[in-house]
């Protein structure tokens, strides 16, 4: 069976627990907020001081003039003072006082994205997730080009097991990041992966092609393009891209399995498919998807006994609708009708949208061949 490349897990910096003791899932968010808030976000957007305040402060430092020489806007000064005090309380882990000061800062500058973002971070530390989401949405609204609010929202929604909202926010974060850093090819790769998972194949193709147009020869990009063209039912281009991925990375086991399985599905190059799938299994022996590919290949080769052994082993390692569908087909082939029906029922239980599997069960019940 096909299997996407596994994403690498990144370790997030750890935040010290405050009195409110955030949950482990919230610590994932807080770990990311820390460096973004202090190093990136504030460095580029501190208080949105409309440019001229920063210029005045730099002039003050460079020319040695005293603050009294400048009539700074009282409204901005008031906002800044509450913002600094709030940050002080936040560092002392006094969430209640920090929240009060951030709210005071917002009274004089409500459309300030950074203040909303920092207030959201305190709410998250204080386990007030709903209020944190509201503040993050305001931070994104008042700074449409910002990356961080969307990124944190994506993590929060992911922790809440809301993949649709998480994906939407992550997509916005990547789009904004690509505008801020158009030469960062990893951003386009991640954006392409988002589109691929959403089955927006044309958009995914554009993102991956953009990377190749920059002169990068990347095995992963060709692998993902193979996924894209397979989704578009363009098997010829899918095979070409997967071959290119293997040319660049001969031990790329995800590509070895994918191309081998694709050959088996198309009932072509079965000997080459066997070599590739077995090599993928040498590199990742207990991968249920790869074992399923081997079992399905044996089925296509007419090696039914071997197919049963591999597919049964795959089903124990990886409860997947495709594996149980394949297992049902093999059982039906050897006239094990009850086992075939049970396997197809299990497949349908895991993915109720499979009309083809449903038809197999109905045909079996009427004693027809599917």
Three-state secondary structure string covering 201-256:
HHHHHHHHHHHHHCCCCCHHHHHHHHHHHHHCCCHHHHHHHHHHHHHHCCCCHHHH
Q: Is the dihedral of CA 344, 347, 352, 354 positive or negative?
A: negative
Determine the Cα angle at 250 with ends 248 and 253, to 5°.
115
pLDDT band at 16 (very low <50, low <70, confident <90, very high): very low
Residue 19 has pLDDT above 70, yes or no: no
Q: Is 32 within the bounds of a domain?
A: yes
Within-domain flag for 207: no
| pLDDT confidence band for 267 (50 / 70 / 90) | very high
Q: Is residue 172 part of a domain?
A: no
**Which ranges of the chain does DSSP label H, i.e. alpha helix?**
24-35, 42-45, 52-63, 74-91, 95-108, 113-125, 129-142, 148-159, 163-180, 185-197, 201-213, 219-231, 235-248, 253-266, 270-283, 288-300, 304-317, 321-333, 337-350, 355-365
Whether 229 and 238 have beta carbons less than 8 Å apart is answered as: yes
Domain carrying residue 93: 22-140
What is the structure's pLDDT at 354?
96
Residue 135 included in any domain: yes
Tell me the backbone φ, ψ of residue 128, rounded to 5 degrees: -105, 70
**Residue 54 covered by a domain:** yes
Beta-carbon count within 10 A of 53 CB: 18
pLDDT-derived band at 21, boundaries 50, 70, 90: very low
* CA–CA distance, 220 with 49 (Å, rounded to integer): 43
Mean pLDDT across the chain = 82
The burial class, CB within 10 Å (0-12 / 13-18 / 19+), for 85 is middle
Structural tokens at position 28: 């994932």
Query: Is the torsion defined by CA of 63, 68, 69, 70 positive or negative?
Result: positive
Q: Range with the lowest mean pLDDT among 9-18, 34-43, 113-122, 285-294?
A: 9-18
Is 188 within the bounds of a domain?
Answer: no
Number of domains into which the chain is organized: 1
Q: What is the per-residue pLDDT across 166-191, written as a single tens digit (0 to 9) for each?
A: 888 988 888 888 888 887 888 888 88
The pair of three-digit structure tokens given for residue 166, joined into one six-digit string: 């998480």
Check: CB of residue 122 under 8 Å from CB of residue 101.
Answer: no
**Do 228 and 196 meet the contact criterion of CB atoms below 8 Å apart?**
yes
299 and 333 Cβ atoms separated by less than 8 Å: yes
pLDDT at 367 over 80: no
| 206-243 per-position pLDDT tens digit | 989 989 988 888 999 999 999 999 999 999 999 999 99
Q: Are the CB atoms for 31 and 12 separated by under 8 Å? A: yes
Tell me, what's the pLDDT at 370? 56
Q: Which residue has the tokens 């204080």?
A: 126
Q: What is the DSSP annotation of 32-58?
A: HHHHIIIIIIHHHHGGG-TTHHHHHHH
Task: Spell 221-255 as b/e; 16+ CB within 10 A means b.
Answer: bbbbbbbbbbbeeebeebbebbebbbebbeebbbb
279 domain-assigned: no
d(CA 258, CA 266): 12
CATH code assigned at 85:
1.25.40.10
C-alpha angle 299-301-302 in degrees, rounded to nearest 5: 65
- Say if CB 344 and CB 361 are below 8 A apart: yes
User: Residue 150: exposed, middle, or buried by beta-carbon count in 10 A (0-12, 13-18, 19+)?
Assistant: buried
pLDDT band at 6 (very low <50, low <70, confident <90, very high): low
Q: Does some domain include residue 262?
A: no
Mean pLDDT of 69-82: 68
- Which of the listed ranges 25-34, 170-179, 342-351 does the model predict with the highest average pLDDT? 342-351
pTM score, two decimals? 0.66
């Amino acid at each position: 069976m096909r299997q996407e490349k596994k994403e690498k897990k990144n370790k997030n910096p750890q935040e010290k627990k405050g009195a409110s003791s955030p949950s482990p899932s919230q610590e994932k968010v807080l770990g990311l907020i820390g460096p973004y808030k202090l190093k990136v976000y504030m460095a580029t957007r501190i208080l949105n001081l409309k440019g001229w305040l920063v210029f005045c402060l730099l002039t003050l430092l460079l020319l040695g003039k005293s603050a009294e020489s400048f009539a700074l806007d009282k409204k901005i000064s008031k906002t800044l003072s509450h913002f600094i005090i709030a940050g002080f309380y936040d560092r002392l882990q006094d969430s209640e006082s920090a929240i009060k000061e951030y709210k005071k800062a917002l009274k004089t500058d409500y459309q300030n994205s950074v203040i909303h973002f920092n207030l959201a971070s305190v709410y998250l530390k204080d386990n007030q997730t709903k209020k944190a989401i509201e503040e993050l949405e305001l931070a994104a609204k008042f700074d449409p080009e910002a990356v961080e609010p969307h990124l944190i929202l994506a993590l929060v929604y992911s922790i809440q097991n809301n993949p649709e909202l998480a994906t939407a926010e992550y997509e916005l974060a990547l789009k904004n990041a690509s505008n801020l850093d158009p030469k960062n090819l990893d951003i386009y790769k991640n954006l392409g992966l988002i589109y691929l998972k959403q089955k927006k194949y044309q958009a995914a193709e554009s993102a991956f092609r953009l990377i190749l147009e920059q002169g990068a020869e990347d095995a992963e990009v060709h692998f993902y393009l193979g996924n894209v063209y397979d989704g578009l039912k363009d098997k010829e281009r899918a095979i070409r891209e997967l071959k290119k991925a293997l040319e660049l990375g001969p031990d790329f086991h995800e590509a070895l399995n994918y191309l081998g399985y694709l050959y088996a599905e198309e009932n072509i190059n079965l000997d080459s498919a066997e070599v590739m799938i077995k090599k993928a299994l040498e590199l990742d022996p207990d991968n249920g998807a790869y074992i399923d590919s081997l079992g399905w290949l044996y089925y296509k080769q007419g090696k039914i006994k071997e197919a049963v052994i591999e597919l049964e082993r795959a089903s124990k390692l990886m409860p997947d609708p495709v594996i149980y569908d394949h297992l049902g087909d093999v059982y039906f082939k050897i006239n094990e009708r009850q086992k075939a029906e049970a396997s197809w029922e299990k497949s349908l239980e895991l993915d109720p949208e499979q009309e083809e599997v449903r038809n197999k069960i109905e045909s079996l019940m009427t004693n027809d061949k599917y």
